[in-house]
Amino acid sequence: MFRFLVTLSILLSYFNCFSLASVVTCSGIVPMRYRNDKISITDFGGVGDGKTLNTKAFREAIYRIQHLRRSGGTLLYVPPGVYLTGSFNLTSHMTLYLAKGAVIKATQDTWNWPLIAPLPSYGRGRERPGGRYMSFIHGDGLQDVVITGENGTIDGQGAIWWNMWRQRTLPFTRPNLIEFMNSRSIIISNVIFQNSPFWNIHPVYCSNVVIRYVTILAPADSPNTDGIDPDSSSNVCIEDSYISTGDDLVAVKSGWDEYGIAYGHPSSGITIRRVTGSSPFSGIAVGSETSGGVENVLAEHINLYNVGVGIHVKTNIGRGGFIRNITVSDVYMENARKGIKIAGDVGDHPDDKFNPNALPVVNGITIKDVWGTKVQQSGLIQGLKNSPFTGICLSNINLQGVAGPTSPPLKCSDVSGSAYQVKPWPCSELSSSQQTGACSNHF
């Protein structure tokens, strides 16, 4: 009888913890759309032999969807096979569906890659002045778009672009793998992204974007292959994904120096949950381009292995803007160069016209429930002399070093806030707090 009761209680707690209803998710902000109308890329002459160029097939299929205007939209099916193609634009009310074994592969013909205008909030291409190459898969001014399937692959074949960057022969800023601009109600799920020329997934000036069950892969030495960069966007939900790239796994941004300040479009309501990955740079980042402001960010249940900086909030003079109400919790990191870094001297400038008096205002950053092993340095929290960072709250943090039980203490300057149960014991600027209310936000 006793055994039966124990078994029963174990079963009950099992259902409590794992029943689907109890899994916290933000994905409800964009309901999944199932479309009755379906077409296949093969209906438009698409050939998945890895050699035939399918640019015309993709553009014609999407032109058809745009002009059919079926109620409920249209699904474009990509069957198993390797579909080489140039970049193409999506349209509203469509699903791009990659079957198991389907690969959409970017052509390496960089000479004919379309150019588009720089983003107004950046004032130039990110790495080169002037325009920028259009993303491999692009959407501007769209709504109700889904990219999904059975874990097919979108492959940017970035190596040729990385080499141009290394050899300094890039005429313009490299293309993102996927970019949505000025769009809303977007879902990206169950797709593998690999070898992006530049950032992988870039929603900019968007709202209501769900990215989940994605895998993003690029070599650790591939330059600027950020995983997901929500940029001047609101209500972005990133969940249940694995990201291993050559740059930040997720970096929340909002424009660059005087251009971002003038454009003034913040990122807000960003959730990052159950993300695992590796990067020589940051795991979870805010910045460094935050000139339109970044607020209301929640990152939780994050697992980082072999990472440069586990949690990184970065900004600079000339950025202006604000960073406020950022919460990062339940982080496990193993083998990190730095655990936590919050700093006001990171990142470069678009040009020398930035205003050195445009200082960012950083207030209300809570980092809690962090466990690290093999963390070389705990990190640093370094505000700006004329704009100290306030409301920095650390609690229940344990960062173990490489050799000893704790890594060297956090260094601080120009910050205020509180700390509770932090190992190693942090700088005196944060150490004075009482236990209660240690993490109440002050903004």
Ligand X SMILES: *[C@@H]1O[C@H](CO)[C@@H](O)[C@H](O)[C@H]1NC(C)=O
Rule CB under 6 A: which residues touch ligand X? 59, 89, 116, 134, 138, 140, 150-151, 190, 213, 215, 296-298, 325, 327
The half-sphere exposure of 125 on its side-chain side, counting CA atoms within 13 A, is 21
Q: 10 Å Cβ neighbour count for 404?
A: 9
The CB-of-431 to ligand X minimum distance in angstroms stands at 25
Element at 369 (helix H, strand E) = strand 361-382
Name the residue nearer to ligand X (CB basis): 290 or 407. 290
Choose between 297 and 304: whose C-beta lies nearer to ligand X.
297
- 291 contact partners, CB below 8 Å, separation of at least 6: 121, 254, 255, 256, 257, 258, 259, 260, 261, 263, 319, 320, 321, 358
Tokens of 34: 């199932």
Do residues 371 and 407 make contact, with C-beta atoms less than 8 angstroms apart? no
Closest CB to ligand X among 275 and 399? 275
CA–CA dist 222, 215 (Å, integer): 16
Residue whose C-beta lies closest to ligand X: 298
The residues assigned a catalytic role are 247
Partners of 155 in beta bridges: 105, 194
As measured in angstroms, the least distance from the Cβ of 254 to ligand X is 16
Rounded CA-CA distance 208/187 in Å is 9
Q: Which residue has the tokens 């001297």?
A: 345
Which one, 312 or 324, has the nearer CB to ligand X?
Answer: 324
Quote the least distance from Cβ 216 to ligand X, whole Å. Answer: 10
- Closest distance of CB 137 from ligand X, Å: 11
Collapse the DSSP code of 336 into the 3-class scheme (helix H, G, I; strand E, B; otherwise coil) and give the result: strand
Indicate the length of the chain as a whole number.
443
Report the C-alpha gap between 295 and 354 in whole angstroms.
Answer: 23
CB contact at 8 A, 395 and 378: no
Task: Indicate the SS3 state at residue 12.
Answer: helix
The CB-of-411 to ligand X minimum distance in angstroms stands at: 27
CB of 90 to ligand X, least distance (A): 9
| DSSP assignment of 149-200 | ESSEEEE--THHHHHHHHTT--SSBPPPSEEEES-EEEEEESEEEE--SS-S
C-alpha to C-alpha distance for 193 and 157, rounded to whole angstroms: 10
C-beta of 271 vs 378, nearer to ligand X: 271
- CB nearer to ligand X: give 148 or 407: 148
CB of 356 to ligand X, least distance (A): 30
Nearest to 114 by CA among 136, 129, 98, 97: 136
Distance CA 103, CA 255 (A): 32
Closest to ligand X by CB, 217 vs 307, is: 217
The SS3 call for residue 122 is coil
Q: Residue 135 or 378: which CB sits closer to ligand X?
A: 135
**Between β-strands 115-116 and 132-133, what pairing exists: parallel, antiparallel or unpaired?**
antiparallel
Least distance to ligand X, CB of residue 386, Å = 26
What does the alpha-carbon distance between residue 381 and residue 372 come to, in Å, rounded to a whole number?
A: 17
